[in-house]
């Protein structure tokens, strides 16, 4: 079903199903405006079941990653919202956009802090992928993915990986060893991180 080996491994349809956090509805009734350098302002308004994005309504999925930090999937996009810092990271197709970035500073928001980190992402009992983060890549048994990474909080990163099955967005919480993700803003995965392997 999936063309990419990394995506196939994490979207296993066998005996074990990937874990994913329960949906959060904490953003219902809230509205936000975020500015992205390559787009007009992103205007969002949430109710219990739909998200209005720049005047159009979409069904959405929301996961609470940490206090006042959320990962939202809608219309093929993934959006990380930090309500405490009024900051957002939007992954839309092959683009990773950081709110508040100006002109060439968009690229300066990218980080390579994870380069050299080898770990195992555990999606469910008996279902994990060992990978190593490089400069702009994730290597795993059987392949390599091109990535972009943004540090959004202390010990929390957004990683966008280009796969043969679409854009994979991962939120990595390296202090609590948890992660959450969306494939093209809709199929959700999550689990725990095995800390730094030799």
- The secondary element (H helix, E strand) that includes residue 6 is helix 5-10
Contact criterion met (CB below 8 Å) for 179 and 170: yes
- The more confident residue out of 39 and 181 is 181
| Mean pLDDT of the 72-96 span | 91
pLDDT of residue 107 exceeding 80: no
Burial of 167 (0-12, 13-18, 19+ CB in 10 A): buried
User: How many other CB atoms sit within 10 Å of the CB of residue 183?
Assistant: 23
Q: What is the pLDDT of residue 138?
A: 93
pLDDT of residue 15 exceeding 60: no
Q: What is the pLDDT of residue 173?
A: 93
Least confident segment among 94-98, 104-108, 134-138, 162-166: 104-108
Q: What is the pLDDT of residue 57?
A: 95
Q: What is the DSSP string of 133-195?
A: EETTEEEETTEEEEEEEEEEETTEEEEEEEETTEEEEEEEETTTTEEEEEETTTEEEEEEEE-
Q: 112-156, pLDDT tens digit by residue?
A: 999 999 999 888 777 788 999 999 999 988 889 999 999 999 999
- The more confident residue out of 40 and 93 is 93
Query: In the structure, what pLDDT confidence band is assigned to residue 17 with cuts at 50, 70 and 90?
Result: low
pLDDT of residue 40 exceeding 70: no
The full set of domain ranges for the chain reads 5-194
Separation of alpha carbons 139 and 132, rounded Å: 5
Separation of alpha carbons 75 and 71, rounded Å: 14
* Three-state secondary-structure class, residue 92: strand
pLDDT of residue 11 exceeding 70: no
Separation of alpha carbons 58 and 12, rounded Å: 27
| Mean pLDDT of the 95-108 span | 68
How do 69-74 and 95-98 pair as beta strands? unpaired
| Mean pLDDT of the 81-104 span | 84
Separation of alpha carbons 22 and 85, rounded Å: 24
Least confident segment among 64-73, 84-93, 137-146, 185-194: 185-194
Separation of alpha carbons 178 and 193, rounded Å: 6
């Amino acid at each position: 079903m999936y063309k990419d080996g990394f995506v196939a491994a994490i979207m296993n349809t066998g005996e074990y199903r990937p874990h994913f956090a329960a949906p959060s509805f904490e953003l219902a009734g809230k509205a936000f405006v975020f500015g992205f350098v390559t787009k007009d302002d992103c205007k969002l308004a949430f109710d219990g079941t739909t998200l209005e994005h720049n005047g159009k309504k979409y069904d959405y999925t929301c996961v609470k990653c940490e206090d006042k930090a959320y990962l939202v999937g809608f219309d093929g996009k993934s959006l990380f919202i930090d309500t405490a810092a009024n900051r957002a990271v939007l992954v839309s197709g092959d683009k990773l956009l950081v709110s508040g970035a100006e002109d060439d500073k968009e690229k300066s928001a990218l980080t390579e802090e994870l380069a050299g980190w080898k770990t195992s992402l555990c999606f469910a009992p008996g279902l994990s992928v060992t990978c190593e983060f490089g400069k702009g890549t994730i290597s795993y048994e059987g392949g390599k993915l091109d990535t972009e990474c943004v540090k959004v909080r202390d010990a929390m990163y957004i990683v966008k990986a280009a796969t043969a099955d679409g854009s994979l967005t991962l939120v990595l919480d390296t202090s609590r060893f948890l992660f959450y993700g969306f494939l093209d803003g809709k199929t959700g995965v999550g689990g725990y991180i095995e800390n730094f392997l030799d």
